[in-house]
């Protein structure tokens, strides 16, 4: 990744941090896009020290605010002529319903509309870069729900789980539509499930007994953020992923524990514990009409069109 520039949102979250570390070790110039620039600086410095890679910087972005995304994109386009990889990694799970500065339900706003706008605004620089890649961090959680465009803001009957699952499905529809729109270019765009990982996203009831119980279970049964970062790193850097576009990849447990794996189409080893598999998203999140309708709605809501 020497000479290549990678932009990752939520770079100071748990999976984001490990993705940043992995990419820094591979020699990429990494731009960490974070809500709080000052709070992310110590991580930036420690990544530089550990990796010996001085090309790590932090930029401020708030995906819950369209004006912040526009401001971010403006300065990015002024400063950079190329962007080899964009990783839309930032995400939230909101137990209670709340809204972004622009009045969108927070989960759909931050997990989907923010990345939609950011990616579209950065397309000039992405398309100006040969063989560039867009990586959208989605989730297998999308299998559990459907997206209702009539209730895009989940106003009718809110559940944090439903809002999260829908937002991750929306990211998959976006991935497919963007891949179609970019099919005559060398840009690829894919979505992924990183595996269920013990991260800050599960800190739903901070400081309560309920949370302590959840944290115990999570730490026992879920994979580490390092392991979860491997799928993003695979899609961002590997020769195997080159040219694949509009696909969904899911991290799963490696059965042979690294002792030797028979090569199988659409399955790649990531580590002694993990493989990444090419997987079909759920039926609803492969629906072409919904894909197009969501794009049109998103263009209107973000004032892109």
Phi, psi of 33 (to 5 degrees): -95, 115
- Please, where are the H alpha helices in 101-224? 106-108, 114-127, 160-181, 209-221
Q: Which of 175, 163, 106 is closest to 136 using CA atoms?
A: 175
**Using rule CB under 6 A, residue 193 touches ligand NAP:** yes
Q: What residue has token string 């993705």?
A: 19
Residue in 199, 274, 291, 298 binding ligand NAP, rule: CB under 6 A: 199
Site string for ligand NAP, 151-190 (x = CB under 6 A): ----------------------------------------
**Using rule CB under 6 A, residue 91 touches ligand NAP:** yes
With CB under 6 A as the contact rule, which of the stretches 58-66, 254-262, 285-293, 294-302 interacts with ligand NAP? 58-66
Strand partners, 253: 274
Q: CB nearer to ligand NAP: give 35 or 233.
A: 35
Site string for ligand NAP, 280-299 (x = CB under 6 A): --------------------
Q: 71 — alpha (psi -120 to 50), left (phi > 0) or beta?
A: alpha
Site string for ligand NAP, 125-144 (x = CB under 6 A): ------------x-x-----
For the bound state, the minimum distance from the C-beta of residue 259 to ligand NAP, rounded and expressed in Å, comes to 26
Site string for ligand NAP, 218-257 (x = CB under 6 A): ----------------------------------------
Contact between residue 251 and residue 228 where contact means Cβ atoms under 8 Å apart:
yes
**Using rule CB under 6 A, residue 115 touches ligand NAP:** no
Q: Which residues belong to the active site?
A: 164
Contact between residue 17 and residue 34 where contact means Cβ atoms under 8 Å apart:
no
- Return the exposure string of 143-170: e unless at least 16 CB atoms fall within 10 Å of the residue's CB, then b: bebebeeeebbbeeebebebbbbbbbbb
For the bound state, the minimum distance from the C-beta of residue 129 to ligand NAP, rounded and expressed in Å, comes to 23
**Using rule CB under 6 A, residue 32 touches ligand NAP:** no
Residue in 194, 227, 233, 276 binding ligand NAP, rule: CB under 6 A: 194
Site size with ligand NAP, rule: CB under 6 A: 27
Q: Which helix (H) or strand (E) holds 52?
A: none
The CA–CA distances, whole Å, from 114 to 103, 204, 262, 277 equal 13, 22, 40, 27
Structure tokens at 207: 């400081």
Query: Residue 20 has what DSSP assignment?
Result: H
How many H-runs (helices) and E-runs (strands) does the chain carry? 9, 9
Which residues are near ligand NAP by CB under 6 A? 9-10, 12-16, 35-36, 61-64, 89-92, 110, 137, 139, 193-194, 196-197, 199-201
């Amino acid at each position: 990744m020497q000479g290549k520039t990678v932009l990752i949102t939520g770079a100071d979250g748990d999976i984001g941090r490990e993705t940043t570390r992995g990419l820094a070790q591979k020699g990429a110039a990494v731009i960490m896009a974070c809500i709080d620039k000052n709070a992310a600086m110590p991580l930036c410095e420690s990544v530089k020290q550990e990796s010996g890679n001085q090309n790590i910087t932090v930029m401020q972005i708030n995906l819950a605010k369209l004006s912040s995304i526009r401001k971010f994109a403006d300065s990015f386009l002024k400063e950079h002529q190329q962007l080899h990889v964009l990783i839309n990694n930032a995400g939230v799970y909101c137990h209670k319903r709340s809204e972004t500065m622009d009045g969108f339900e927070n989960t759909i706003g931050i997990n989907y509309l923010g990345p939609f706008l950011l990616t579209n605004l950065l397309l000039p620089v992405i398309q100006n870069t040969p063989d560039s890649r867009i990586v959208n961090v989605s989730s297998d959680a999308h299998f559990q729900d459907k997206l209702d465009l009539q209730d895009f803001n989940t106003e009718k009957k809110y559940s944090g789980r439903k809002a999260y699952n829908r937002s991750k499905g929306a990211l998959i529809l976006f991935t497919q539509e963007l891949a179609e729109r970019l099919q005559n270019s060398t840009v690829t765009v894919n979505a992924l499930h990183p595996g269920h990982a013990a991260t800050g996203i599960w800190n739903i009831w901070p400081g309560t007994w309920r949370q302590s119980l959840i944290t115990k279970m999570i730490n026992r049964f879920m994979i580490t953020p390092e392991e979860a970062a491997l799928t993003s790193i695979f899609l961002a850097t590997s020769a195997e992923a080159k040219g694949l576009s509009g696909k969904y990849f899911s991290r799963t447990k490696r059965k042979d524990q690294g002792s030797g794996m028979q090569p199988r189409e659409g399955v790649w080893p990531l580590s002694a514990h993990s493989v990444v598999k090419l997987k079909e998203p759920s039926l609803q999140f492969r629906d072409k009409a919904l894909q197009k309708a969501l794009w049109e709605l998103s263009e209107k809501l973000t004032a892109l069109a």
